[in-house]
């Protein structure tokens, strides 16, 4: 799965139309940045967000270095005369309204809450950018991999999302979908969480998860991160989520592979 995810991300797109015949696009959302880079002809891309080349945020940070960045301000975007602006469902409504008022088409993409929605996001971006054949290729490759999933049962290892300040992720989140696709149960779901919330250190200790999913520590000192490294949790191995867990793109397959590796490690040790 890891190899397939990488091949999907770096595959060269065949040219079915010249860039001059395709709509010029600006992205104002981190996740649409990545969908655009996967599907667009490079000549279509006017600009991406300022976060697009941040490796902690984007799975395609290195690729994003090649493109201009925007500051998500309507005036500066309008000057670049894009044909289409792509945005997230929760992008700044004032920005979206202003762009539409000055005659720029804006297409918004919903938040991806399960890996099963990734093909739909790819196909939608393909339609927006007039690159449907490219998007269909990526979507079918992704669906082929999803078809190999096996259902988990009550004997599957238990993973627990435990981020700074006890932040956790439950049902209805992309991270939960990645975790279960990798063959693990989610402690937050057993505790009744839907969406996100917070769990206490005591809850973690009492429920003894088989492994933790957390985030790498930033440099410097933060009390909010202390809870993640408490001695009471040292028996549980930790895996760190990355930019691959953030957006509904084929990069989630790498995250699923990492979960599978952890599940294999735990079941082998039992």
- Residue-wise pLDDT for 219-266, tens only, equals 555 554 555 566 667 788 999 999 999 999 999 999 999 999 999 999
pLDDT of residue 229: 65
pTM for this prediction: 0.88
Do 158-269 and 2-146 fall under one CATH topology?
Answer: yes
φ, ψ (nearest 5 deg) of residue 57: -115, -35
How far are the Cα atoms of 72, 97, 100, 248 from residue 94, in angstroms, in the given order? 11, 5, 10, 25
**pLDDT (tens digit, 9 = 90+) per residue, 2-24?**
555 545 454 444 444 456 689 99
Residue 39 is encoded by which pair of tokens?
A: 């599907």
Contact status, residue 121 vs residue 174, Cβ threshold 8 Å: no
Per-residue b or e along 175-195, where b marks 16 or more CB atoms closer than 10 Å to that residue's CB: bbbbbbbbbbbbbbbeeebee
Residue 27 to residue 47: CA distance in whole angstroms: 6
Contact status, residue 184 vs residue 156, Cβ threshold 8 Å: yes
In CATH, what class is 158-269? Answer: alpha beta
Q: How large is the angle between the packed helices 252-269 and 174-181, nearest 10 degrees?
A: 50
pLDDT of residue 12: 40
pLDDT of residue 269: 83
Instruction: Collect all residues with Cβ–Cβ distance below 8 Å to 42 and sequence separation of at least 6.
Output: 19, 66, 67
User: Counting beta carbons within 10 angstroms of the beta carbon of residue 154, is it exposed (0 to 12), middle (13 to 18) or buried (19 or more)?
Assistant: exposed
Contact status, residue 130 vs residue 17, Cβ threshold 8 Å: yes
**pLDDT (tens digit, 9 = 90+) per residue, 65-102?**
999 999 999 999 999 999 999 999 999 999 999 999 99
Residue spans of the domains in the chain: they are 2-146, 158-269
Compute how many other C-beta atoms are within 10 angstroms of the C-beta atom of residue 150: 8
Residue 66 to residue 55: CA distance in whole angstroms: 14
Q: DSSP letter string over 76-94?
A: HHHHT--SEEEEETTS-HH
Q: Return the CATH number of 2-146, one of 3.10.105.10, 3.40.50.2300, 3.40.50.1980, 3.40.50.300.
A: 3.40.50.1980
Question: How many angstroms from the chain centroid is the CA of residue 258?
Answer: 14
Beta bridge partners of residue 84, listed in sequence order: 25, 105
pLDDT of residue 38: 98
Please compute Rg for the chain using Cα positions: 20
Compute how many other C-beta atoms are within 10 angstroms of the C-beta atom of residue 227: 20
DSSP 169: E
């Amino acid at each position: 799965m890891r190899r397939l995810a990488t091949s999907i991300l770096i595959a060269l797109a065949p040219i079915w139309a010249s860039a001059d015949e395709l709509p010029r696009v600006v992205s104002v959302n981190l996740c649409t940045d990545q969908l655009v880079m996967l599907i667009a002809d490079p000549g279509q891309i006017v600009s991406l967000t300022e976060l697009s080349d941040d490796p902690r945020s984007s799975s395609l940070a290195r690729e994003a270095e090649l493109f201009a960045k925007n500051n998500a301000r309507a005036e500066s975007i309008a000057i670049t005369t894009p044909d289409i602006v792509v945005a997230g469902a929760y992008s700044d409504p004032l920005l979206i309204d202003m762009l539409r008022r000055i005659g720029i088409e804006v297409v918004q993409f919903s938040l991806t809450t399960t890996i099963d929605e990734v093909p739909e996001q790819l196909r939608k971006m393909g339609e927006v950018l007039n690159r449907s054949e490219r998007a269909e290729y990526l979507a079918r490759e992704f669906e082929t991999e999803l078809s190999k999933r096996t259902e988990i049962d009550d004997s599957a290892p238990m993973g627990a999302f435990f981020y700074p300040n006890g932040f956790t992720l439950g049902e209805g989140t992309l991270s939960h979908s990645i975790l279960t696709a990798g063959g693990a149960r989610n402690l937050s779901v057993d505790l009744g969480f839907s969406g996100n919330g917070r769990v206490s250190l005591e809850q973690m200790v009492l429920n003894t998860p088989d492994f933790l999913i957390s985030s790498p520590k930033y440099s410097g000192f933060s009390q909010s991160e202390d809870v993640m490294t408490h001695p009471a949790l040292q028996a549980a191995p930790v895996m760190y989520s990355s930019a691959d867990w953030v957006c509904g793109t084929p990069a989630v397959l790498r995250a699923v592979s990492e979960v599978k590796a952890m599940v294999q490690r735990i079941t082998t040790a039992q």
